[in-house]
Structure 1
Amino acid sequence: MRYQIKYKVWLEKDGEIIMGLGREKLLKEIQKQGSISKAAKELGISYKKAWSFLKAMEKRLGTKLVETKRGGEKGGGAVLTEEAQKLIKEFEKLVKRFEGVKKRAESNG
């Protein structure tokens, strides 16, 4: 019998989500766009929702993940901190491990 294994991976602290696939996408899109607003638009979520995700992640981790510049004549912007980049890399490693387990399990099934 052929089947597919499905799973979701996320990181929690004290029962609250720190990082999941959606939040990872948000951080990566902020990195790509250089803007929280543009990243939110690209992902189809409101700026308010994106901002609340970021603030919740930062509060739970106790560290800044995004440095922002206010808008103005030359426009604002956002860049990921070193901590955010490390978080993305660690999360990607974890997801890759789960993918390996999934593939092995499916091929043995």
Structure 2
Amino acid sequence: MRIRSGDAVALGPGKVELLEAVREYGSISAAARSLGMSYRRAWLLIDELNRSLKSPATHSEQGGQSGGGCTLTPVGENIIRLYRDVEVEAQRSCAKQIAELTRLIRS
């Protein structure tokens, strides 16, 4: 599922996966590495997401002696929960159609 804001994808599977990685690793750079993504790409995705929201999904700390970090705000946690709930409900509601679509794909 993707939610658009104008021409931009405000929210989609890649951004949710990135939020989950930020939650797990505590930084954008570590999250990016875990997903095989450049730091710049991850930062741009987080920035685009935060700009599309009424309140940001992440909070970044500036680097310093102990380095920086990035944590999820309650909005970010809620996005992950809601997005994953929608996926479960869609799978449950559309199992027949998903199975039919899957049969069209080469194995």
TM-score by length of 1: 0.82
Q: What are the superposed Cα offsets for residues 42-85 of structure 1, whole Å, 9 maximum, x if unpaired?
A: 10111111111111111111321111112222121110001111
1:52-91 superposed matches below 5 A: 52-91=44-83
Larger RCO, structures 1/2 (Cα 8 Å, 6+ apart): 1
1:1-109 superposed matches below 5 A: 9-105=1-97, 106=99
Cα distance in 1 for partners of 2:91, 2:28 equals 29
Q: State the one-letter code of the partner of 1:92.
A: R
CA RMSD between the two structures: 1.6
Q: 5+ unaligned residues in a row in structure 2: which ranges?
A: 101-107
Cα distance in 1 for partners of 2:62, 2:7 equals 33
Q: 5+ unaligned residues in a row in structure 1: which ranges?
A: 1-8
Aligned-residue offset at 1:14: 2.8
The 3 A distance-change label for structure 1 pair 98 and 15 is: farther
Matched residue, 1:5? none
TM-score by length of 2: 0.83
Equivalent pairs counted in the alignment come to: 99
Cα distance in 2 for partners of 1:15, 1:86 equals 24
Structure 1 runs, 4 residues or longer, greater than 6 Å off: none
